[in-house]
Amino acid sequence: MNIDDVIVSKTIFNRFSKEFPSYFDVDVAIAGGGPAGLVAAQFLAKKGKKVVLFERKLSIGGGMWGGGMTFPVIVVQKESKHLLEDAGIKIKEENQGYYSADAIESVVKLTAAAIDAGVKIFNTISVEDVLLTNGMVNGFVINWSAVEVAGLHVDPLTIRAKRCIDATGHPAEICNIVKRKVRPTSGPLCQDTLLVEGSMSACIGEKAVVDNTKEVYPGLYAAGMCANAVFGSHRMGPIFGGMLRSGRKTAELILEKLK
């Protein structure tokens, strides 16, 4: 077969230009492709919701890739292991209720599970602002991550969504945008003492990340480590059970609103 370079380029451009426009208006838009964002996206899509996920980096998976200190192993507890098993991830029972899994396998299979459920993932796209209508976050303002890194003044595009999720992890990027630009007068994003993450305490952090998963501003939900950052709770390192459960809880909260 004779390979034509231009045909290759046209194929890429044509497919992208056909697919992308269908995601300007969705049920749920998610910022951040870590474990919480992937699980939330998967469960929402399984329920028939149109879901788009934007990841600013080239790779999906957030901090899960590196396991603990680049040892590619993660830990979950008994209450969370089914969320890995449901994605076909092999887990190993250790002791006292701890289970281990391969970090690389976990990222790959959680990503595949989300895609198989119908989630559309766009990488190298950053969320630089929110769309606000009648006091409610109802979309994301997006741009290429390369534009942001280069510091270029290039106007963004807008995605409309019925509900939005901040799953950007420790930086809580979308919540910080709302706090800074919208300046809420009530709720968690209006308090100066919040959006400051606590030090390592897996016991506290794992419970808190599920408890803190909630709607933090009309239309905007905090999931995963973002939720703990918003409420000033502790980080928990390479145990990921709470992250997975937070993603599932976020999906359940949104499904209640989108009935």
Q: What token pair was written down for 221?
A: 């939900």
Model confidence over 220-240: pLDDT tens digits?
999 999 999 999 999 999 999
User: Are the CB atoms for 143 and 157 separated by under 8 Å?
Assistant: yes
User: Are the CB atoms for 166 and 229 separated by under 8 Å?
Assistant: no
In this predicted structure, the answer to whether residue 45 has a pLDDT above a threshold of 70 is: yes
First to last CA, the chain: 51
Report the distance separating Cα 127 and Cα 152, nearest Å.
Answer: 15
Q: What token pair was written down for 57?
A: 């980096």
For 214-217, which contacts have Cβ atoms below 8 Å and span 24 or more sequence positions?
214/253, 215/253, 216/166, 216/175, 216/178, 216/187, 216/188, 216/189, 217/137, 217/175, 217/178, 217/182, 217/184, 217/187, 217/189
Task: Give pTM, 2 decimals.
Answer: 0.97
Model confidence over 187-196: pLDDT tens digits?
889 876 567 7
